[in-house]
């Protein structure tokens, strides 16, 4: 049985929205401008921080990876961020969780200003208290740093009441490093194997199932 959580932090790419088209198109743009080969599996870029991906997937050093991020964002900041769609069932899930009294925030490795623009474009802002992300100045690059920041800004000190909802290994690792549990979103980019082997406390096949689980945990705690 899932525990009772009063706060849920949401990843953005692969959890709230399917951003694959925009990310891959901007990766191709960077590849064309800088002359590096596209990775064999570009979907590995979906989720982790860009700097990490260019270093660890494309084998770039710090200077070249920083330039790749800059070129990627040339296209992403004007076109790529809106080559995107909200997953089916997300607004319904968010509405149910809010009605159940759950506090909702976003914790993404995407630059926070981009995250806000995406949330505004797709009508998701109304459900969330805070849109937390990486700083455009290079701060909060790691998932646990974003989580820590969101919790600090909202005065949340009891981390046993907080759940991260994300779709990739970096969501789980960041959650655990920040001292919170993670629910793996199987409708996103990560496989069941990735999420289970990464140590996710729970997994859900659909947004509806995720909402059912979280609400059931809260109801069960009230009954006891």
- Residue 164's contacts (CB-CB under 8 Å, 6 or more residues apart) are 8, 9, 11, 107, 147, 171, 172, 174, 175, 178, 180, 181, 182, 183
Q: Which of 11, 13, 112, 171 is catalytic?
A: 11
Q: Within the chain, where are the H helices? A: 20-34, 50-56, 62-76, 90-99, 112-121, 143-153, 169-177, 192-197, 207-223
C-beta neighbour count of 82 within 10 angstroms? 15
- Known catalytic membership, residue 167: no
CA distance 107 to 54: 21
Contact 198, 207 (CB under 8 A): no
Q: What is the DSSP string of 120-146?
A: HHTT-GGG-S-EEEE-TTS---SHHHH
Catalogue the active-site residues.
Answer: 11
């Amino acid at each position: 049985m899932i525990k009772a959580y009063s706060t849920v932090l949401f990843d953005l790419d692969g959890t709230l929205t399917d951003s694959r088209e925009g990310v891959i198109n901007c990766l191709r743009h960077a590849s064309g401008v800088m002359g590096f080969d596209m990775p064999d599996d570009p979907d590995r870029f979906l989720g982790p921080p860009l700097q990490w991906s260019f270093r660890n997937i494309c084998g770039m050093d710090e200077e070249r990876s920083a330039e790749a991020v800059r070129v990627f964002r040339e296209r992403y900041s004007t076109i790529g961020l809106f080559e995107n769609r909200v997953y089916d069932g997300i607004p319904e899930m968010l509405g149910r969780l809010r009605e159940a009294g759950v506090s909702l925030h976003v914790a993404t490795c995407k630059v926070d200003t981009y995250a806000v623009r995406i949330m505004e474009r797709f009508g998701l802002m109304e459900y969330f208290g805070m849109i937390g992300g990486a700083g455009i100045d290079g701060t909060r690059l790691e998932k646990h740093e974003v989580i820590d920041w969101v919790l600090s800004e909202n005065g949340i000190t009891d981390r046993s009441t907080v759940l991260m909802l994300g779709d990739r290994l970096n969501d789980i690792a960041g959650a655990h490093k920040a001292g919170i549990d993670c629910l793996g979103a199987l409708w996103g980019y990560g496989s069941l194997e990735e999420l289970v082997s990464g140590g996710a406390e729970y997994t859900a096949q659909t947004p509806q199932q995720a909402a059912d689980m979280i609400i059931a945990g809260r109801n069960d705690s009230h009954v006891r």
